[in-house]
Structure 1
Amino acid sequence: MSTSRPRRVGAFAAAALISVLGLAACGSSDDGGGDAAATNASGVTTITKGKLKACTHLSYKPFEFKEGSKVVGFDVDLTDLVAKKLGLEQEVVDIEFATITSGAAFAAKKCDIGYGATTITDERKKAVLFSDPYFEATQALIVKKGSGITDLPGLKGKKIGVQTDTTGQSYAEDNKGANGYTTVVFDDLPTQLAGVLAGRVEGAINDNGPLFDYVKDNPSTEVVKEFQTGEKYGLMVKKDDPNAQKIVDAANEAMKAAQADGTYNTIYKKWFGVDAPK
């Protein structure tokens, strides 16, 4: 089976017209910062004065990854729009993914907002409050070229790599019994895909966007199958918190405005090389 083209994922999102090259998020430690929390002119109280602290888990190219000392990516640019609307500057905190989706990072006051190409699920909604969806995605299978594997049945008796605490892991586990493979859990996307290259696993399942991005730089690999899981990404904030509700309301307004004025499409094309789906 030939490699399918990515379903270059949809959009519902992002804010006021600004240069997508202008606001760059800086890396940070995951402490509380030196300045005390403060309420700014937008009426939002943040952990650190003047900052919108954003938790994510690196690296997940092209959504969030390091380029030199800066954290860049599609999610980063969108959240810059949210920060701009609130009169703040984004500050990125690299933290374990599960601490964001479980709500622990918000409870511990590590961040004001969170992202990480995060699929909105009913289970996650129990722990965090999501923004409106801003991106559509699905799961995909990546293998080494020439492997002869084109779908999950071809992995019978073999090993497949999954990233911990992801919907890709859930999909692989749900289909393990029917296809007879063994799952191997990796902590992050880079080590998962390195496992495919090194032959530690015969394939890997993750979101289609990062996998199609990966094969561009690693032509010895190919995406052989997409599984239409109908996933949508959202930004995350603390659940059942009036202040966090203000942040997510601003995020929804920012993303809606960016969709209307073309800013979203500019950001999308910057990271994916094509126009955003209508």
Structure 2
Amino acid sequence: MPLVLRSRRTLTAALVPALALGLAACSSDGGEEPGSSSSSAAAADCTPEGLQTLTDGTLTVGASEPFEPWYVGEPTSGEGFESALVYAVADELGFAKDDVVWESVTFEQIISPAIKPFDVAAYQTTITEERKGAVDFSSPYLTSRQGVIVADSGEFSAAASLADLEGAKVGVTASQTSLDVTEAAWGDKVEVVPFSAVADGMTALSSGTVDAMVMDVDQGVAATTVYFPDTHVVGTLPSVGEPEQLGLVLDKDSALTACVSAAVDTLAEDGTLDELKTTWLKSDDVPELS
């Protein structure tokens, strides 16, 4: 994975808009398959000529600020889990790489019921029943977990269990999955400190204002190795309810949903998704705290 070396200050500044938007994508648990079935995809013409895209022969993809491990460099690079995923889905649908164009959007645009300026969006968006009322989701492409990050030199640097973190000030992103999972894990045995953006929480962790930060574990691994190298992931929190799954987002009742879901299903069945996880996500060995 090519990396451009930058100063800590530059990395932190670069992370602020990325994490502020990106980690907001994961909210409450979801994970049910979208309503479109494989049979409806089989009945559809899942080719560039048959798909009703915004621009004939072109697949327009929505994304926001690029950040690792989802995007390495610009989305057009094909590097990073979601960038590579988009091009793999496009290939399944018959689009050449040059036929994929990227549209910069906000997370609010992605999940709102308004008509979208894209055919499909790839931005770590958790599948929830509430969101299904406003948008369509593809089949899930990733099951996520919430990781716990601590400072290398902090009081809780050697934490290896939930009990080891009792009494800590734990940062979360307000109104997101991390809040629910943190409260379920510890109850009132930790002091929960909400932040409007994950980058704010990570900055607070580095400065010692909080003792730990809870966030998506895959983003957490990237945050600790690329953006905040004075921190590390100690483990993940036990899941709450149904597994938290991410899906590609489309307009509500989009004619593309069945075909996009079928493409994701094929990538899951032929091992491509596992290959992308191995290449770009480094969280498989992170243990669950108990």
Q: Are positions 1:92 and 2:102 aligned together? A: yes
Q: How far apart are the structure 1 equivalents of 2:120 and 2:189?
A: 38
Q: How far apart are the structure 2 equivalents of 1:118 and 1:126?
A: 14
SS at match of 1:265: helix
Q: Are positions 1:183 and 2:183 aligned together? A: no
Q: How far apart are the structure 1 equivalents of 2:191 and 2:282?
A: 35
- TM superposition shift of 1:47: 2.3
Residue of structure 2 aligned with 1:269, choices 262, 268, 278: 278
Seq. identity, %: 25
Q: Deviations over 1:19-62 (max 9, x none)?
A: xxxxxxxxxxxxxxxxxxxxx85422222343322222324421
Counterpart code for 2:250: V
Residue in 2 that maps onto 1:248: 257
Q: How far apart are the structure 1 equivalents of 2:214 and 2:49?
A: 41
Q: Are positions 1:47 and 2:54 aligned together? A: yes
Residue in 1 that maps onto 2:82: 75
Residue of structure 1 aligned with 2:221, choices 197, 212, 216: 212
Counterpart code for 1:114: A
Residue in 2 that maps onto 1:15: none
Residue in 1 that maps onto 2:155: 148
Q: How far apart are the structure 2 equivalents of 1:98 and 1:222?
A: 30
Matches within 5 A, 1:125-136: 125-136=132-143
- TM superposition shift of 1:143: 1.3
SS at match of 2:65: coil
SS at match of 1:62: coil
- Which stretch has the larger CA shift, 126-135 or 151-160? 151-160
Distance 1:193 1:152, change over 3 A: farther
Residue in 1 that maps onto 2:38: none
Residue of structure 2 aligned with 1:171, choices 155, 173, 181: 181
Q: How far apart are the structure 2 equivalents of 1:173 and 1:121?
A: 19
Q: How far apart are the structure 2 equivalents of 1:198 and 1:65?
A: 27
Matches within 5 A, 1:2-41: 41=48
Q: How far apart are the structure 1 equivalents of 2:167 and 2:113?
A: 36
Superposition TM-score, scaled by structure 1 size: 0.67
Q: How far apart are the structure 1 equivalents of 2:188 and 2:146?
A: 17
Q: Deviations over 1:91-146 (max 9, x none)?
A: 22332223312344xx2x32111122222222222222111112111111111023
Q: How far apart are the structure 2 equivalents of 1:166 and 1:182?
A: 13
- TM superposition shift of 1:211: 1.0
Counterpart code for 1:214: A
Q: Deviations over 1:229-267 (max 9, x none)?
A: 22121111111x2xx2x3222222222222333433332
Q: Deviations over 1:176-230 (max 9, x none)?
A: 862452433244x555434422334432211111112333345421212311322
Residue in 2 that maps onto 1:224: 234
Residue in 2 that maps onto 1:193: 202
- Which stretch has the larger CA shift, 109-118 or 216-225? 216-225
Q: How many aligned residue pairs are there?
A: 230
- TM superposition shift of 1:148: 2.9
Distance 1:75 1:222, change over 3 A: same
1 or 2, which has the higher strand percentage?
A: 1
Name stretches of at least 5 consecutive residues in structure 2 with no aligned partner.
1-32, 34-46, 285-290
Residue of structure 2 aligned with 1:63, choices 70, 78, 92: 70
Residue in 2 that maps onto 1:259: 268
